[in-house]
Structure 1
Amino acid sequence: MNGPKSRSEERQGELSLAEQAYRAIRDRLIMLDIRPGAPINEDQLSQSLGFGRTPVREALKRLQYERLIATFPRRGTFATEVNITDLAHISEVRRQLEPMAAAQAARRATAADRARLTELLRELESAGEQGRSPDDLMRLDLAVHRAIYAATHNPYLEDTLVAYDNLATRVWCLFVDRLPGMAGHIGEHGPLLRTITAADPDKAAELARSHVEGFERAIREAI
């Protein structure tokens, strides 16, 4: 007899196959498990992920729209290159929207949102003690950002920021070996999470803006 499903398994079960395929391929692209410039093969992805070709094809359409893959006539489909010149454009958008999202999360977070943010705060606090790998830290950073965006309860703002955070994370992954202070950068989320759960929108916006600016500065210093 099978035991009870975990919460993550239950959530996965509620998602369509296309959504599951999208998230799996997206995260491979974000974390550079699929390297920039690498060819994208539908059949190989279907086999490695255990999905049929139809959900994979639907996922790839979304990923092309989000600038994570690109299709060229007579050449095929490839993971997009990580172009450092894009960092200024990405940061320009995030400097405006990240503070707005943090402030709205502080205003609108439900009890369930606050519980999730508190759970992530505890994970952040223990991350330094556990000496987690850069890959684990990066995934924790993504989880924190996505939880804050979800707490805005504005699906348009959430989708926009997830897309830009994904692009920013690819830049970060490219230079991770030159960023020894990564744990400290991720640790900056601690005060932000506390401020959001304390329902202080002005302070949350200020901390979010500082975090984005610090990220861009750290990447430029690493180049």
Structure 2
Amino acid sequence: MMATVPGGEELSLAERAYRAIRDRLVMLEIRPGAPINEEQLAQSLGVGRTPVREALKRLQYERMITTYPRRGTFATDVNITDLAHISEVRQELEPLAAAQAARRATATDRAALTALHQELDGAGASGQHPAELMHLDLQVHRAIYAATHNPYLEDTLVRHDNLATRIWCLFVDRLSDMAGHVEEHGPLIEAIVAGDPDRAARLARSHVEGFERAVRAAI
């Protein structure tokens, strides 16, 4: 049995389980420190335990879960001291990704980014729930990374953005302008679609720096 996502990409059961569990962890639907129950996850996803087990192996490598001998498997804690380390990586790689996306984005990439831009335009005005804004933020980042057409850069940034988003979600109730932060992606998308790598890189760096400042101010 295979699942299909937009673009015609077919996903194995293990990949589908991985993406679903990953996003539950990222959005804190599985809370930091919570035990991970393979059987419950398999039932909720409608798959067997083998795909779930394969997904959990990947998530452990990505620092989303951790396993303790004789205790079990748990969602990793969200540690604010990790913010500086994560931001250090993203401040270098996010501008690179934005610039490469501006250079390499295909017509399909640009159409996908333009559609996300239209969603962003209505995000603040419609008063979307913070969780919906966070999901939109993730979609934009992942679309930009995909547009680099560099799978190594994409994988690295997806992992770090996931970890950053967990921190963001932990403090979302204290953040004063969540919609404004997400809407910042509008000019970035415009620069990528216009094929302006220098402007895209500047905006990406500013966005990452603003994210870290906003979280630190909320602590």
Q: Name the TM-score class by shorter chain.
A: over 0.9
Q: 1:42/1:219 Cα in 2 relative to 1: closer, same or farther (>3 Å)? A: same
Which residue number in structure 1 is paired with residue 189 of structure 2? Answer: 193
Which residue number in structure 2 is paired with residue 3 of structure 1? Answer: none
Corresponding residue to 1:112 among 100, 105, 108:
108
Q: Secondary structure at the match of 2:70?
A: coil
Q: 1:109/1:18 Cα in 2 relative to 1: closer, same or farther (>3 Å)? A: same
1:75 correspondence with 2:43: no
How far the C-alpha of 1:178 sits from its partner, in A, is 0.2
Distance in 2 (alpha carbons) for counterparts of 1:12 and 1:49: 21
Which residue number in structure 1 is paired with residue 172 of structure 2? Answer: 176
How far the C-alpha of 1:11 sits from its partner, in A, is 5.8
Distance in 2 (alpha carbons) for counterparts of 1:143 and 1:10: 13
Corresponding residue to 1:127 among 102, 120, 123:
123
Distance in 1 (alpha carbons) for counterparts of 2:154 and 2:25: 19
Which residue number in structure 1 is paired with residue 204 of structure 2? Answer: 208
Q: What's the RMSD between the two structures over aligned residues? A: 1.4
Corresponding residue to 1:99 among 92, 95, 101:
95
1:154 correspondence with 2:150: yes
Tell me if structure 2 keeps the 8 A contact 1:12–1:20: no
Tell me if structure 2 keeps the 8 A contact 1:98–1:161: yes
Q: Deviations over 1:105-141 (max 9, x none)?
A: 0000000000000000000001112111101000000
Distance in 2 (alpha carbons) for counterparts of 1:132 and 1:208: 23
Distance in 1 (alpha carbons) for counterparts of 2:43 and 2:146: 31
Equivalent residue pairs, number: 217
How far the C-alpha of 1:27 sits from its partner, in A, is 0.4
Q: Quick one: which amino acid aligns to residue 184 of structure 1?
A: G
Q: 1:12/1:41 Cα in 2 relative to 1: closer, same or farther (>3 Å)? A: farther
Distance in 2 (alpha carbons) for counterparts of 1:47 and 1:121: 36
How far the C-alpha of 1:49 sits from its partner, in A, is 1.2
Tell me if structure 1 keeps the 8 A contact 2:5–2:11: no
How far the C-alpha of 1:173 sits from its partner, in A, is 0.2
TM-score, structure 1 length as denominator? 0.95
Q: 1:99/1:10 Cα in 2 relative to 1: closer, same or farther (>3 Å)? A: closer
1:221 correspondence with 2:217: yes
Structure 2 residues not aligned, in runs of 5+? none
Structure 1 residues not aligned, in runs of 5+? 1-7
Moved over 6 A (4+): none
Q: Deviations over 1:163-187 (max 9, x none)?
A: 0000000000000000020000001
1:141 correspondence with 2:137: yes
Which residue number in structure 2 is paired with residue 4 of structure 1? Answer: none
| Identity percentage of aligned residues | 77
Distance in 1 (alpha carbons) for counterparts of 2:70 and 2:109: 47
Alignment map for 1:15-30 (pairs within 5 Å): 15-30=11-26
Q: Deviations over 1:31-70 (max 9, x none)?
A: 0000000000101111111110000000000000000000
Tell me if structure 1 keeps the 8 A contact 2:56–2:65: yes
Q: Secondary structure at the match of 1:18?
A: helix
Which residue number in structure 2 is paired with residue 56 of structure 1? Answer: 52
Q: 1:205/1:25 Cα in 2 relative to 1: closer, same or farther (>3 Å)? A: same
